[in-house]
């Protein structure tokens, strides 16, 4: 009887250890989950890097303004299309697509026949 009792106790302890191990694994997975970490670290990054991000945003705005001026000088849809394919940033592509639409609209207006006056 003593051996059976000890064996049962070992099985119970073993089952408890297994449950504890599973619980620890679940806790580690929860902590490692992307839902929790990026939100905290992102907020912290924003606080720590605010001056740097502000400067980068100002530089990006200046670059976009320069690109906008450059696009005004281009009168070929083909050149704009080449620029569009080479552009990496979303905002740059957005400006280039707007310039292409503007050029195409101007071409259509130029081709449209004038209304005849009666």
Span 17-67, pLDDT tens digits: 999 999 998 888 877 765 545 555 555 556 666 777 788 888 888 888 888
pLDDT value, residue 112: 65
40 falls within a domain: no
50 falls within a domain: no
* Cβ atoms 100, 77 nearer than 8 A: yes
Rounded to an integer, what distance in angstroms lies between the CA atom of residue 83 and that of residue 76?
Answer: 11
- The structural domain count of the chain equals 1
Rounded to an integer, what distance in angstroms lies between the CA atom of residue 18 and that of residue 84?
Answer: 58
> Domain of 15?
6-32+55-111
């Amino acid at each position: 009887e003593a051996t059976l009792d000890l064996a049962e106790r070992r099985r119970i302890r073993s089952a408890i250890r297994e449950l504890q191990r599973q619980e620890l694994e679940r806790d580690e997975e929860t902590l490692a989950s992307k839902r929790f970490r990026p939100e905290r670290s992102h907020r912290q990054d924003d606080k720590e890097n605010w001056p740097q991000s502000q400067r980068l945003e100002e530089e990006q705005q200046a670059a976009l303004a320069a690109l906008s001026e450059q696009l005004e000088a281009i009168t070929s849809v083909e050149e704009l299309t080449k620029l569009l394919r080479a552009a990496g940033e979303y905002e740059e592509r957005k400006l280039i697509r707007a310039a292409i639409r503007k050029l195409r609209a101007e071409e259509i207006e130029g081709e449209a026949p004038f209304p005849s006056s009666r």
